[in-house]
Amino acid sequence: MKPLFTFFALFIIFVPLLHAQDTIEVSSGWNIIGAKSTRAFDNITSEPPGIITSYFYGYQSGVGYEQADTLKEGKGYWVKTSQTGLIISAPVNHPPASPSNPTPSDNDTGVSNSPILDWSCFDPDNDPMTYDVYFGTDNPPASKISSGQNSTFLSWSGLNNSTTYYWNIVAKDSQGDSTVGTVWRFTTSLFVWTCSSPISYEGKTYNTVQIGNQCWFRENLDVGAMIVRTSNQSNNSLLEKYCYNDDTVNCNTYGGLYQWNEAMQYSTAEGVQGICPSGWHVPTLTEFQTLKTAVGNDGNALKEVGQGTGGGVGTNASGFSVLLAGYRYDGGACYYLGEETYSWSSTQYNATNAYYLHLNYYDSNINLNFDYEQNGLSIRCLID
């Protein structure tokens, strides 16, 4: 039977208080005790054992006395014992709740390559908490990317496209307890290539530029093994190039020089891939004409700033960034470095000659003409 407490109210002046891992003397009958610790007590025993014969009752405003499962700070509780003895406090720490509400959400897709990892967590005892963050492509993730942080978010970056990542949180309270959270996962977005993005090919990175409705390499192609300029390139399943005056520094700066058949990889089809990467091709004469129209027949708009003199000074208004790469004649002599540039098209004039685009240093003309296919010219790749 619940005791009648009303007439005792005026006499509750000094209330014995329980401390963490402490004891209090009690007498036979009803006793009032209080919890002084900031932690709730939910493990109370007695000495001798079994002398507690009632529930603990705590007062709740507007409700009255109610049975209490835990003893909370700043409140008094009635308890009945069968004889004089000791009540022993043994507060039990509650570990943190399992972290929840992840952002990105579990199994999310199309996530940024630089996400902000965010989560929620609480501690039943209101203990201060810290967090360890585990992250990676393994399930479960083994790499700890943050340790002992106080905040419930973490910015991360440098992720790969179209990749599934796993992450989880270990929440720790100030009492030494911890909770290992659920492993969450998300997948980053697909890579969508756009013109102006770089492209890697055969160990070298090329910039790209949109001019009108065309997407071009911003540099001359430099692919293949250098052979001496006095030799002919051949259909031997190896990519071969000339470097101006057999100097590899010139290839690094201006790109390689190629005989037409090598550039076309021994095809005569207009618009063939040739030595360009997959998805790109050797431009046709018509495509060079389209480029010429797009820049208003202004060759200076195609030249890099600093290339040419007088009326031929480059402005690079188009971003095409031409360098005056010179020319390798049939037989091996090299001419016109810093003065002229020639780029093969994939369109033949006849069986031994093909069209090219030509710029020189002294005027702004864009010339489209044909040349002997055994000569060595530059290559600019155009997207399919």
Encoded amino acid at 356, one letter: Y
Contact 313, 298 (CB under 8 A): no
**pLDDT greater than 60 at residue 290:** yes
Angle at 90 between CA 84 and CA 93, to 5 degrees: 160
Task: Check residue 41 and give its pLDDT.
Answer: 63
Task: Check residue 58 and give its pLDDT.
Answer: 84
- Three-state SS for the chain is CCCCCHHHHHHCCCCCEECCCCEEEECCEEEEEEECCCCCECCEEEECCCCECCCEEEEECCCEEEEECCECECCEEEEEECCCEEEEECCCCCCCCCCEEEECCCCEEEECCCCEEEEECCCCCCCCEEEEEEEECCCCCCEEEEEEECCCEEECCCCCCCCEEEEEEEEEECCCCEEECCCEEEEECCCCCCECECEEECCEEECEEEECCEEEECCCCCCCEECCCCCCCCCCCCCEEECHHHCHHHHHHHCCEECHHHHHCCCCCCCCCCCCCCCEECCCHHHHHHHHHHCCCCHHHCECCCCCCHHHCCCCCCCCCECCEEEECCCCCEEEECCEEEEEEEEECCCCEEEEEEEECCCCCCEEEEEECCCEEECCCEEC
Q: How many CA atoms lie within 13 A of 307 on its CB side?
A: 29
**pLDDT tens readout for residues 191-210:** 888 999 999 999 999 999 99
**Would you give the distance in Å from CA 324 to the centre of its chain?**
39
Q: Which of these ranges, 107-111, 125-129, 284-288, 310-314, has the smallest mean pLDDT?
A: 125-129
**pLDDT greater than 90 at residue 284:** yes
**pLDDT tens readout for residues 146-181:** 999 999 999 999 999 999 999 999 999 998 999 999
**pLDDT tens readout for residues 362-381:** 999 999 999 999 999 999 99
CA distances from 92 to 41, 177, 304, 347 (A): 7, 11, 75, 85
Q: Which residues are CB-neighbours of 10 under 8 A, at least 6 positions away?
A: none
Q: What is the mean pLDDT of residues 353-359?
A: 99
Task: Check residue 7 and give its pLDDT.
Answer: 32
Q: What is the mean pLDDT of residues 324-348?
A: 98
Q: 85-89 and 164-173 as β-strands: parallel, antiparallel, unpaired?
A: unpaired
Residue 107's region, left for phi above 0, alpha for psi from -120 to 50, else beta, is: left
State the Cα–Cα distance between residues 240 and 326, nearest whole angstrom: 18
For the chain, residues classed under CATH 2.60.40.10 are: 100-188
Per-residue confidence band for 105, with pLDDT thresholds at 50, 70 and 90: very high
**pLDDT tens readout for residues 51-61:** 999 888 888 78
Task: Check residue 10 and give its pLDDT.
Answer: 30
Phi/psi of residue 117, each to 5°?
A: -80, 130
Report the topology of domain 100-188: Immunoglobulin-like (2.60.40)
Task: Check residue 40 and give its pLDDT.
Answer: 57
User: Who wins on pLDDT, 254 or 36?
Assistant: 254
**pLDDT greater than 60 at residue 20:** no
Q: Which of these ranges, 84-98, 113-127, 258-272, 290-304, has the smallest mean pLDDT?
A: 84-98
> What is the spatial order of strands in the sheet that 382-383 belongs to?
208-211, 214-217, 382-383, 280-281
**pLDDT greater than 60 at residue 13:** no
Task: Check residue 35 and give its pLDDT.
Answer: 62
**pLDDT tens readout for residues 77-93:** 888 999 999 887 766 78
**pLDDT greater than 50 at residue 6:** no
**pLDDT greater than 60 at residue 38:** no
The fraction of the chain above a pLDDT of 90, given in percent, is 77
